[in-house]
Structure 1
């Protein structure tokens, strides 16, 4: 359980870097540099994105990475980036990664061995989103935003856009031509950036992967993470539900719901169909042990499963924790000593409410002070809409030929999956219905997957190759594959993931751990996934854009 939580934290910090780069197609042209790597060190007058390259160094090839020109610099005023340009194997593609949490550091963008050759056909880039976070965990530090509007703007909406402009300019300078195709891939905050780019900068990228997107940013960080922190804190300031209770709670949840899809495989395929009452493992009066829940723990667990509500019972976020996600709560919702004793949900929410959630110069709040009322929800809106990626008007992205792949794990402990399903349903309704929307935007919901492709039964998911095929060859993704690996890297499970709302059903033959033995089926019963909540009017409020 602790290993899984650590993986979830690592995935959030390096949310974009878990995704693999596409491989070159046999026979396609590679581009050689038209100038030396060192020649890139200079200032570039990119409109709206003046770019300063501070270093450009040739990095020798290794067993897993191609020789590349490692470019480091910043876009004014302070958006640091790293761009890696293959010197011998570049085939014309550009891939930009998103970042996780509040960002604050440049995570080196990876080359991945995809066979032709070592993934080096792609130029890759990443950014810190315009500020440097303080240690030990830079991703939850928000103090940089306290009195710096430029840094706020860079993080909220500007940084991914200007880094794409800067990178394309440098690619043109190095290879003599701009990239033929450009892609963006991110998870968590990187997923928010992905949606934001499709919504506000529809011509920046040809294909976009938005994983577990934090698109409902203000309500998610200001309200939902605060809810997770407060409902599990007792009057004495100590956690109510503790980590030692999670295995028993998870086992009870699986016992109640695992076979609802007709297959007992340790994962709940569709938590929406599950009706689990944690009171079924309530401790007998006067007892308390790791195998049961006290009355206070039963009530806290019910609240963790539920979305936050205001004084009138109206939902303040579209969803809560899903049944089946319990083991992943350790470290995120429930304090873990090895992570400093503060739940990550609380750290994010407190930093957001203290330094980022309200206009500079206005009163701020904190986890301790925040009240779940409609008034407090509305006070988050003026600043929240600067970061939110909630617009369903993607007409320009669609007209430009853009392709969008959204994905989310049903057992995500950090960002409720219900929000992404709600967004996709609203997107579908605003863009001509399911069939018309599937022509350019598809959603994949992964059973049992935790935040940003971590988990227990499934540990990896990456639809980027399918996106590239869709963009470049017109092959829409009808199936993707999620993978489970053990600590030694051995694959123990594969499972197909079909476009929403289709689900994977075991065909009755062969191993239940082999993706080949599953077929797509519609859900057992139609579901209404558009959620009526306090943020209904936020979908029509577009945030600012940078030149």
Structure 2
């Protein structure tokens, strides 16, 4: 009888341990946590599975979390708002850092939700200001806020999160990861370059890392193309341009599917679109032909040297908002350029891209903007020595940041570190038919932002990164998925394709369903 009672007590004790929360601290008590230059403004336990945040669609299906919100003030002119979501029960022992897009100004709540559902403790900040992504007026007269945006907010969010995690779980995260795109991709590379011990694994998409050159290069492009009435062409002409590009290059990969797998092999000549008679929507005038050529070739200086590379053929209708606009000054690129120069570089609210000297603007941008905003160093030795792994990805049809920029950066790391050394900790994936971070004619869900592939999360880039960090080798089988909707509006898989590590490209095997990844392989170009 005593023996049976003893077994019962042991089993009861084990059950209590299993049922107990992973943390040793009450969530609400974290509000009184003392952290350097930081105030915890909110510490609440969210157990309902749903969460409403002003200005953001409601979240459902959340695990029980301890939601922490706070403000960091590393300088007298800093106000960096951040949030950290901590799973109360099934924490996987990992931390996930979330980045921003554009000029930032908001916290990436959707990514926080996606990763806490997967068991991560996840955190992100607004990068030091509250504003729309195209707005940089907050930087006017505030150099410290530019530093917060450029590099300080992401780094301090990592540091403060580590301290809060230690207080809540009474232990640190076993591994730390970062996943973001665009400006967040720039932040990702900034972390790897300036703060190499912050993260063990980094997933950096379409990085705006050459920020000072990229934005400044648009001045000459705008003057030559957008602001020249003879050279500017309406977005109504984009379908005809795309059709001509696909007619020239779509079938090069053996499958005519509206996707150019390897744009580097496409030699589409815009001259094929020249108007034979009057100017119509299905043709371009000679000045418009030259304008189109410049979009593909990129921005050049007065000596004809490329300043920043151009865009690729095959998804020209995706240029409507970013590159062309509904009128000559309506493109998103125009707003980014003017906001950047007015409020970050010249401190002149009347600065105009229409009248600025392009080469002077480039010099100004590099001199004043590069120190805080650029993340172009190819020396990742300290990150590699720390055991860090970096996966870069870029959509081949990115309409906001040239895909060639990521290839150029990847090659610069190989040259600086040596190809064998670089291959041991850096990979690049170029995604056919994918626009800026996601979207486009190609399959664009491949594990970024917590997105699942048709085969599940295991077959995405982020989980490949985790395998590389924790198991010593990345998963070689990456599946990219294109989703649509069925008749009831539920997600439906339309296409799957392998996603190949550069310089390999996806190739059709010659038989099988062209919408199924099993009909394709990754091969040398």
Provide the TM-score with structure 1 as the length reference.
0.83
CA drift of 1:170 comes to 0.7
Residue 356 of structure 1: aligned partner: 344
CA drift of 1:159 comes to 0.7
Q: Please provide the CA RMSD for this pair.
A: 2.3
CA drift of 1:371 comes to 2.7
- 2:41 is aligned, of 54, 57, 72, to 54
SS in 1 for 2:314: coil
For these two proteins, the number of residue pairs brought into alignment is: 476
CA drift of 1:342 comes to 2.0
What is the CA–CA distance in structure 2 between the aligned matches of 1:469 and 1:272, rounded to whole Å?
Answer: 30
> Where does 1:507-526 land on structure 2 (aligned, <5 Å)?
507-523=509-525
What is the CA–CA distance in structure 2 between the aligned matches of 1:467 and 1:205, rounded to whole Å?
Answer: 12
Question: Is the contact between residue 34 and residue 176 of structure 1 (CA under 8 Å) also seen in structure 2?
Answer: yes
- 2:253 is aligned, of 252, 257, 261, to 261
CA drift of 1:228 comes to 4.6
Residue 303 of structure 2: aligned partner: 312
1:174 maps onto 2:182 in alignment: no
Point out which structure has higher relative CO (alpha carbons under 8 A, 6+ apart): 1
Question: Is the contact between residue 248 and residue 292 of structure 1 (CA under 8 Å) also seen in structure 2?
Answer: yes
Describe the shift of the 1:227–1:327 C-alpha distance in structure 2 as closer, same or farther (beyond 3 A). farther
Residue 264 of structure 2: aligned partner: 272
SS in 2 for 1:44: coil
> Where does 1:498-509 land on structure 2 (aligned, <5 Å)?
498-509=500-511
Question: Is the contact between residue 65 and residue 111 of structure 1 (CA under 8 Å) also seen in structure 2?
Answer: no
For residues 218-249 of structure 1, the C-alpha deviation after alignment (integer angstroms, 9 at most, x for no partner) is: 0111223x34533432445x982211111111
What is the CA–CA distance in structure 2 between the aligned matches of 1:110 and 1:459, rounded to whole Å?
Answer: 16
Structure 2, unaligned runs of 5 or more: 1-17, 50-59, 448-460
What is the CA–CA distance in structure 1 between the aligned matches of 2:125 and 2:234, rounded to whole Å?
Answer: 36
What is the CA–CA distance in structure 2 between the aligned matches of 1:154 and 1:187, rounded to whole Å?
Answer: 18
What is the CA–CA distance in structure 1 between the aligned matches of 2:465 and 2:146, rounded to whole Å?
Answer: 31
Residue 18 of structure 1: aligned partner: none
What is the CA–CA distance in structure 2 between the aligned matches of 1:227 and 1:61, rounded to whole Å?
Answer: 53
> Where does 1:213-232 land on structure 2 (aligned, <5 Å)?
213-224=207-218, 226-232=219-225
1:377 maps onto 2:377 in alignment: no
Residue 418 of structure 1: aligned partner: 404
What is the CA–CA distance in structure 2 between the aligned matches of 1:298 and 1:430, rounded to whole Å?
Answer: 38
> Where does 1:471-486 land on structure 2 (aligned, <5 Å)?
471-486=469-484
Residue 466 of structure 2: aligned partner: 468
> Where does 1:263-342 land on structure 2 (aligned, <5 Å)?
263-285=255-277, 287-317=278-308, 319-336=309-326, 342=330
> Where does 1:137-286 land on structure 2 (aligned, <5 Å)?
138-224=132-218, 226-235=219-228, 240-285=232-277
For residues 430-455 of structure 1, the C-alpha deviation after alignment (integer angstroms, 9 at most, x for no partner) is: 1121x321211111111111001111
- 1:121 is aligned, of 119, 122, 139, to 119
SS in 2 for 1:390: coil
For residues 65-99 of structure 1, the C-alpha deviation after alignment (integer angstroms, 9 at most, x for no partner) is: 10111111111131111111111111211101110
Question: Is the contact between residue 99 and residue 108 of structure 2 (CA under 8 Å) also seen in structure 1?
Answer: no
Name the one with the larger helix percent: 2
SS in 1 for 2:252: helix
Which structure: larger Rg? 2
CA drift of 1:274 comes to 1.2
Provide the TM-score with structure 2 as the length reference.
0.86
